Amino acid sequence: MRQVYVAITLIVTLLVAFDGYVRVDVVTKAAAELKNWGIILSAFALGLAALGLFTLHLGRISRRTPEWPYSAALLFGLVWFAGAGTFIGTTSPGYVFYYRNLLQPIGNAVFSLLMFYIVTAAFRSFTINKWQSATILITAAFIMLGSVPVGEVIWKGIPEISGWILRVPNTAGQRGIIIGSAIGGVAAALRTALGLERMRG
C-alpha cells in the first residue's frame, strides 16, 4: 500500500514541478487541474479544523471543565460566523458588524501584545556586556530610529546609516539564508516525492 502512496506523490510532484520547466500542453493542463484540486483540499482542511474545534470544545462543555464558558463562547462565535456567512453572506450587515466590532478589535489587541513583549525582550536581551549583544543593540537602535520620523529630527545621518544596514549587511545575510532554506525545502520535497521521507499519521 505504501508503494501506491509513494507512486501517487511522485506522479503529482513530477507533473506540477515539470509545469514550471517545460511548455507542454498536456502537462500544463494537468498541473492546472492539480492546483485546483489543491485549493479544494485546502478548503476541506479548513472544514476539518472547524470540525476539530467543534468536537474539542463540545467535549469541554459536556465535561464541565474549568474553561467551559469560554468554549461555549467560542462555539457560539463559530456557529454565528459560519451561519451568517453561509446564509446571509459575508458582506451582510450582521456579519460585518460582528467582524468589525468584535473580531477585528480582538485581533488588534492580541497583536498589540507583541509591542509589550518586544519591550521586555529588548530589555532582557540588549545588553552591552558582550560584543555580540552590543552590536545587536547598536544596529537595532539605528534601524528603529531610521524607521520613524524622530530619527531624522535627532540626526540626519540616522536614516542613511539605517538604510545602508538594511541594504548591505542585512540583505547579504538574508540572501544566504533564503538560498539555504530554498535548497533545504527542495531537498525535503524531493525526499517526500521519492518516498524517502518517513510516513506519519
Partner 1 sequence: MVIKERILSLGLVAFMVAAMLYGLWRVKNGARAPAIRKIPALEALSEMIGRATEMGRPVHFTAGTGRLVDQNAPIMLASLDVLGKSAELCARYGSRLLVTASDPVYHAMCVDAVKTSFASSGDAEGFRSEDVRFLSDTQFAYAAGAIGLIEREKVAANVVVGSYGAEGLLLAEAGANAGAVQLAGTINMNILPFFVVACDYTLLGEEIYAAGAYLSGDGPRVSMLAAQDYAKVAVILAIVLGVVTFSVGSRAITNILDTFGK
Partner 2 sequence: MTMTANTRRLIYVLFVIAVAAPMVRPVPMPLMVKQETRDLYTRIEQLKPGDTVVMCFDYSPGTATDIHAAAVAVFHHLMRRPGIGVIGVAFVADGPQFAEQTFATAPPGKKYGFDLVNLGYRAGGENAIAAFSQDVQKTFPADIEGTPAGRLPLLSKVKSARDFALVIEMSGGTPGPAEWIRQAGQPYGAAIGAIVTTVMVPPNLAYLQSKQLAALLYGLRGAAEYETLVGRPGNGLAGMGSQSAAAVFILLAVAINNIRRLVLRRRALPSERRPAQ
Site residues (CB under 8 A) for partner 1?
A: 17, 20-24, 38, 41-42, 45-46, 48-49, 51-53, 56, 107, 110-111, 113-114, 117-118, 120-122, 124-126, 136, 174, 177-181, 183-192, 194, 196-197, 200-201
3-state DSSP of 83-104: HHHHHHCCCCHHHHHHHHHHHH
* Residue number with CB closer to partner 2 (1 or 41): 41
65 binds partner 2 (CB under 8 A): no
Binding partner 2 (rule: CB under 8 A), the pick from 24, 96, 186, 199 is: 96
For the four alpha carbons of 2, 200, 47 and 186, in that order, the dihedral sign comes to negative
Residue 183 interacting entry, from partner 2, partner 1, none, C-beta within 5 to 8 Å by type? partner 1
Q: How many CB atoms lie within 10 A of CB 57?
A: 20
Asked if 7 and 190 touch (Cβ cutoff 8 Å), the reply is: no
Single-letter residue type at 49:
A
Identify what 145 binds: partner 1, partner 2, none; CB under 5 to 8 Å per kind: partner 2
What does 89 bind: partner 2, partner 1, none (CB cut-off 5 to 8 Å by kind)? partner 2
112, 105 contact by CB (below 8 A): no
The answer to the question of residue 127 lying near partner 2 (CB under 8 A) is yes
User: Applying CB under 8 A, does 36 fall inside the site for partner 2?
Assistant: yes
Task: Considering only the C-alpha atoms of the chain, give the largest distance between any 2 of them, rounded to a whole number of Å.
Answer: 68
